[in-house]
Amino acid sequence: MHWVYYLSNRFRLFLLGLLSITIISSCSEEHQSENEGTSKPNVIPEDVHSQQVLLGRYLFYDKALSIDSTVSCASCHQQQFGFADNVAMSLGHHRKKGTRNALALSNLKEHPYFLWDGAASGLEKQVLIPLNDSLEMNLDILDVAKRLSGNEFYQDLAERAYQRPLDPFVITRSITAFEHTFLSNQSRYDNYLNGDNNALNEEELLGMDLFFSDRLKCAECHSGSSFTDYSFQNNGAVTNYERDSGRIRLTFKESDRNLYKVPSLRNCEVSAPYMHDGSIATLEAVVEHYASGGQLIPQKSNKISGFELSLKEKSALISFLRTLTDDEFLTKEELSDPFEE
């Protein structure tokens, strides 16, 4: 009788294991079928570039690019936040917390390199970094291609747009093609530059004058159409760099210790929190930080020396920064999640 009881227990364990495998397999198939059959456009564009962009749009929003199928590119780069995130550190697969704040994305063709430390010299290379990051998507590009190999819609678009099956080349190039359409140039500030003298009110014009003044020196780093000179600086916002020592991790040069890329200010009104570690929550606090001159650390830029502002001037400066918000960019259907259409 003892062997019957033992066999019964072993058989129960076998059934439980079989049931677990069935559930996991079922969940995987459910995600795949959902991915293959959701929101396919009624009409595929005829020109090759539009086909590349369309494929990239779907891949950008597809959570199957992460190891547990819970995180897409758009999970950390959300359109409503200027393709940034609204938390200090975004969550990756299995809700693992990242180590840097998600940068806002716009006008990317102008950028010579990407990420806070400039680790990627092109968008095609940048795509690979979050895919492989153990805290973000944690899935090799070869495994992504294999996972999506059965998606007939993706394979059809890949053949149309690149005359080849969905492979790492197609995946990185199509996501890049989509991200190149992130054009933000319809803010009220842009309208003012384009000749609409009524686009900015008196307070905002005062803020603009302050921003570009020698007194505040904001434009020495935040210059050009994207409000960044793409340099690497330390602004004295952080004193503890134990978890992230900046660009030195890439170059191994002591001169790059604790330096980070100057971010674009376009759509900064909606892309809080700020700084590479998301440590400053509001635009008001950002202005107060620069007015204070920042923390006294060896690597701090000599451009950060502090300044005094009246309450009226502080309000005006913040009002000007808000004129960089491009509402059309934040709501443009062509940039939105195709799986929700």
Phi and psi angles of residue 239, each rounded to the nearest 5 degrees, phi first: -110, -20
pLDDT at 328: 98
Q: Summarize the confidence of residues 154-163 as an average pLDDT.
A: 97
Phi and psi angles of residue 232, each rounded to the nearest 5 degrees, phi first: -110, 125
pLDDT at 38: 54
Reported as type and span, the H/E element at residue 233 is: strand 232-233
Domains in the chain (CATH in brackets) are 41-182 (1.10.760.10), 188-325 (1.10.760.10)
The CA-based dihedral angle spanning residues 138, 140, 146, 149, taken in that order and rounded to the nearest 10 degrees: 80
pLDDT at 18: 42
pLDDT at 19: 39
Average pLDDT, rounded, for the chain: 90
Using the predicted structure, report yes or no on whether residue 156 has a pLDDT greater than 70: yes
Gap between the Cα atoms of 192 and 199, Å rounded: 5
For the stretch 93-110, pLDDT in tens is 999 999 999 999 999 999
Is 154:55 a contact under the CB 8 Å cutoff? yes
Look at residues 329, 56, 300 and name the one whose alpha carbon lies nearest to residue 292: 300
For the stretch 252-282, pLDDT in tens is 999 999 999 999 999 999 999 999 999 999 9
